[in-house]
């Protein structure tokens, strides 16, 4: 996993590196040099560069890039919103160096972005804690309207460094080069829509700052999938890999339960059963003959199925009528490992009784209902980390908060899974995720449920990416395209 930190933590790491003997001017020089190398590598034909500088260290990094670009023979427009004479510390040092070597700087004007090949966003840094306004908002808007691609210093201006929220307006960068350590806001909320490709450079500080800060969150990687799912022995049999029971599929919603069941099987569960309305059994078994589908009319009929299951996934297509409420009550009282989604979450919110140890998989709307008074989807978007932590504490569960940069929180640990594609914003994709969580939990009953849920979210996202690649595009991706990609996604990090 990749360790992620808040801006305050990264600032302390930066200061620790300075105390350990790396001057601030040297760190800033390294940062600007790395960004310039990335710009030159990605846009080697660029001849005109615009660098938009603010008043902090981000602005200082911009002066380094401008100086290096001039040395390389590019025409540079350095546009400032804070006069270089007002800079301090390392930023002042690099501004003077740029100007002393013949560089020119002038106040920002939108017209200066016309005809440039690349724009460097060195305006606002990770310390931003209020909405962007005034001339700074105008500069962000102008950068977004320009034809040239934008390369951001450390974080796109206007993105909150901890939460990933957009602070009124934010730069849409094609490339973000971030320094010292990964910032949590780059990978969730609006962060992924604004960063473009993200490159991390620790500026040779990692050895000097190791252990100085406890990570705020951990970002899942392919290697984590391999670690949680070791190779199976050659004499493996289905009884060793768990039994998932998916409960759902109210009238007209057979597809949801079928998608969750197929995903559980494709994730490697040894056995998968479905409890659904009798009329939906053919719709489940037809496309998924390996699934054991049971038509259930009354909750007492669930008892033998619940007793045989190692994990129960309840909610996909369940409905909130009499049948759905009866199925939910039976599952809630069964004492099995529970993955709760969709109408299971809505019924949980209505009943206000925690189910300790369950894994909840809400989207923001469901999360707002679970959180209750004082929360709405806008509040969740403003601080997804706080929402996930509050849900975990309030309901005594592992909470998997879906969205760009899915978050998993159990009240103590935070994980982030940012694999996925915008094509996954379609009906039924969440049902597939429910099946993946249940399928992995069935195979790994002793694994930490929060870590397991985060790995499941990552594998689900990778399956979506692979499905989009197979189709040749993101638009038009269907939930049914994902399960077939799960085995390959789960094998990517194989040990």
The string of pLDDT tens digits covering residues 336-395 is 999 999 999 999 999 989 999 999 999 999 999 999 999 999 999 999 999 999 999 999
Whole-number mean pLDDT of the chain?
96
The owner of tokens 């991706």 is 477
**């500088």: which residue's tokens?**
53
Band (494; pLDDT cuts 50, 70, 90): low
Q: Could you tell me if 163 and 383 are in contact, meaning their C-beta atoms sit under 8 angstroms apart?
A: yes
Q: DSSP states of 95-121 as a string? A: HHHHHHTT--EEE--GGGGTT-SEEEE
Average pLDDT on 415-429 reads 97
pLDDT at 230: 82
Q: pLDDT tier at 223 (50, 70, 90 boundaries)?
A: very high
Would you call 153 helix, strand, or coil by DSSP? strand
Which of 159-163, 284-288, 293-297 has the lowest average pLDDT? 284-288
- Tell me the per-residue pLDDT of 395-406, one tens digit each, with 9 for 90 and over: 999 999 999 999
pLDDT at 493 (0 to 100): 72
CATH (residue range 2-217): 3.40.50.10260
Q: Measured between alpha carbons, how far is residue 277 from residues 263, 329, 351 in Å?
A: 20, 16, 23
What's the pLDDT at 169? 98
Q: Is the pLDDT of residue 18 over 90?
A: yes
Average the pLDDT over 452-474 and give the result: 97
pLDDT given at position 229: 87
> What predicted TM-score, i.e. pTM, was given to this entire model?
0.95
**pLDDT > 70: percent of the chain:** 100
> What does the domain layout of the chain look like in residue ranges?
2-217, 222-491
Residue ranges of alpha helices (H) inside 2-158 are: 7-19, 24-42, 57-71, 89-100, 134-145
Mean pLDDT calculated for residue range 95-106:
96
The yes-or-no verdict on residue 495 having pLDDT over 60 is: no
Tokens of 113: 């972005």
Among the residue ranges 106-110, 263-267, 440-444, the one predicted with the least confidence is 106-110
At the topology level of CATH, where does 222-491 sit? Answer: 3.40.1190
- How far, CA to CA in Å, does 153 sit from each of 242, 279, 431? 47, 57, 38
Contacts of 294 (CB under 8 A, 6+ apart): 273, 274, 275, 276, 281, 301, 305
Around Cβ 71, how many Cβ atoms within 10 Å?
12
Bridge partners (DSSP) of residue 447 are none
The confidence score (pLDDT) of residue 63 equals 98
Joined together, the tokens standing for residue 125 give 């840094």
- Mean pLDDT, residues 110-125 taken together: 94
Q: Comparing C-alpha atoms, which of 230, 262, 288 is closest to residue 443?
A: 230
Position 459 pLDDT exceeds 90: yes
Residue 149 has pLDDT above 70, yes or no: yes
Tell me what pLDDT residue 112 has. 86
Measured distance CA(185)–CA(297) in Å, rounded: 47
């Amino acid at each position: 996993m990749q360790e992620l930190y808040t801006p305050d933590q990264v600032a302390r790491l930066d200061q620790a590196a300075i105390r350990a003997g790396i001057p601030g001017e040297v760190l800033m020089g390294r940062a600007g040099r790395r960004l310039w190398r990335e710009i030159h590598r990605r846009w080697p034909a660029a001849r005109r560069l615009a660098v938009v500088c603010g008043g902090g260290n981000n602005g200082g990094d911009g002066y380094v890039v401008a100086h290096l670009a001039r040395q390389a023979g590019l025409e540079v427009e350095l546009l400032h919103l804070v006069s270089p004479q007002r800079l301090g510390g390392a930023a002042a040092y690099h501004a003077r160096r740029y100007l002393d070597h013949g560089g020119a700087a002038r106040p920002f004007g939108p017209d200066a972005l016309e005809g440039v090949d690349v724009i460097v966003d060195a305006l606002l840094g990770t310390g931003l804690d209020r909405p962007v306004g005034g001339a700074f908002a105008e500069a962000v808007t102008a950068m977004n309207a320009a034809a040239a691609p934008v390369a951001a210093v450390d974080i796109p201006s206007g993105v909150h460094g901890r939460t990933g929220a957009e602070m009124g307006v934010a730069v849409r960068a094609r490339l973000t080069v971030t320094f010292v350590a990964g910032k949590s806001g780059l990978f969730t909320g609006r962060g992924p829509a604004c960063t473009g490709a993200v490159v991390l450079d620790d500026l040779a500080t990692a050895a000097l700052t190791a252990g100085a800060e406890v990570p705020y969150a951990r970002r899942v990687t392919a290697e984590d999938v391999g670690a949680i799912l070791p190779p199976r022995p050659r004499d493996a049999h289905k009884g060793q890999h768990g039994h998932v029971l998916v409960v759902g599929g109210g009238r007209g919603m057979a597809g949801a339960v079928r998608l969750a069941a197929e995903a559980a099987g494709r994730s490697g569960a040894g056995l998968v059963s479905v409890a659904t309305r009798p009329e939906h059994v053919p719709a489940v078994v037809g496309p998924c003959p390996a699934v054991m589908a049971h038509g259930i009319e009354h909750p007492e009929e669930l008892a033998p199925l619940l007793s045989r299951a190692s994990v129960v996934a309840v909610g996909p297509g369940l409905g909130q009528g009499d049948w759905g409420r009866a199925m939910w009550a039976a599952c809630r009282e069964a004492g099995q490992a529970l993955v709760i989604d969709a109408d299971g979450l809505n019924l949980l919110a209505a009943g206000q009784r925690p189910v300790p140890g369950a894994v909840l998989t809400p989207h923001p709307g469901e999360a707002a209902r679970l959180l209750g008074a004082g929360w709405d989807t806008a509040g969740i978007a403003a601080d997804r980390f706080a929402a996930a932590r509050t849900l975990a504490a309030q309901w005594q569960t592992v909470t998997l908060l879906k969205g760009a940069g899915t978050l998993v929180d159990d009240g103590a640990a935070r994980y982030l899974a940012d694999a996925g594609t915008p094509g996954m914003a379609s009906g039924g994709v969440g049902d597939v995720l429910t099946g993946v969580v249940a399928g992995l939990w069935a195979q790994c009953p002793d694994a930490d449920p929060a870590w397991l849920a985060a790995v499941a979210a990552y594998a689900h996202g990778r399956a979506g990416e692979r499905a989009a690649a197979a189709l040749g595009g993101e638009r038009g991706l269907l939930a049914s395209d994902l399960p077939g990609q799960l085995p390959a996604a789960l094998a990517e990090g194989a040990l």
